[in-house]
Structure 1
């Protein structure tokens, strides 16, 4: 990969990381984290979205890139467990929540609603489209969950 390609990808990667940090910190607020943990949530979200974006820029599928990002985020949370304490797993989770493909879920729901407006003979295409979107959502959620769970189960630590 040439230096020009890397320099062109940096603004896109930074954009995704910035908004991943904002979203993850927002989920940290919903999880009732304190101010110090919100910063860690933002770091986890920025890292997760940066890894996923880099994977997708390399041509990986959304599901594969999400798995790699969740795995990297969970491993990173384990590595900094000294500073995070018992909240390390929750911080990793908050960092990965912005990767949930809400737009795909919205398309799936709208596709299923669209089936009610067409003739039964014309309903096949909207149902297939909606099912494809729903499967992408399900596989992505499964990939994120597996990426978060695998390091935790491989490292049997009672503090984590």
Structure 2
């Protein structure tokens, strides 16, 4: 087991690095202040690291995304004051790099290719495109649930 963790370390570090870069980029797009961009980088690194470790452990993309979003949102709410920044904006900036864009493109291109296929050959393309679209929907739902649970619990401290 330890050997497996050591073997996966470069891949997890790679994902963490690019998660941090993407989170900072989205932080800039979301107009997050310069003082919180470092937090965005850390949150992006945490999100993609947790998701990658979950997938390496055999979890589905959706389950790993849920746990990563939950971890990221908990880190935001337990990490202290945000210095004038809304905690939801930090959570979303940290997690937005986990949106499965490749599955969405595959679904979109598959549905567009249906216009050129004869009806008897379209069933495999429909099934593949629907599968990719469902993965996008369920992954976004898992991410939304993972981000929402800590936000709701933080709002109701007596819960």
TM-score normalised per structure 2: 0.94
Mapping 1:4-153, distance limit 5 Å: 4-153=3-152
CA distance in structure 1 between the partners assigned to 2:135 and 2:64 by the alignment? 13
CA distance in structure 1 between the partners assigned to 2:133 and 2:72 by the alignment? 25
CA distance in structure 2 between the partners assigned to 1:104 and 1:14 by the alignment? 23
Of 141-150 and 115-124, deviating more is: 115-124
CA distance in structure 2 between the partners assigned to 1:96 and 1:24 by the alignment? 7
Shift, 1:125, TM fit: 0.8
Residue 36 of structure 2 aligns to a residue in which SS?
A: helix
- Report runs of 4+ in structure 1 exceeding 3 Å deviation: 83-86
Alignment root-mean-square deviation, CA: 1.4
Asked whether the equivalents of residues 81 and 88 of structure 1 are also in contact (C-alpha less than 8 Å), the reply is no
Asked whether the equivalents of residues 13 and 49 of structure 2 are also in contact (C-alpha less than 8 Å), the reply is yes
CA distance in structure 1 between the partners assigned to 2:119 and 2:47 by the alignment? 42
Unaligned residue ranges in structure 1 (runs of 5+): none
Asked whether the equivalents of residues 36 and 82 of structure 2 are also in contact (C-alpha less than 8 Å), the reply is no
Shift, 1:15, TM fit: 0.1
How many aligned positions are there? 157
Shift, 1:85, TM fit: 4.8
Unaligned residue ranges in structure 2 (runs of 5+): none
TM-score normalised per structure 1: 0.93
Shift, 1:157, TM fit: 5.5
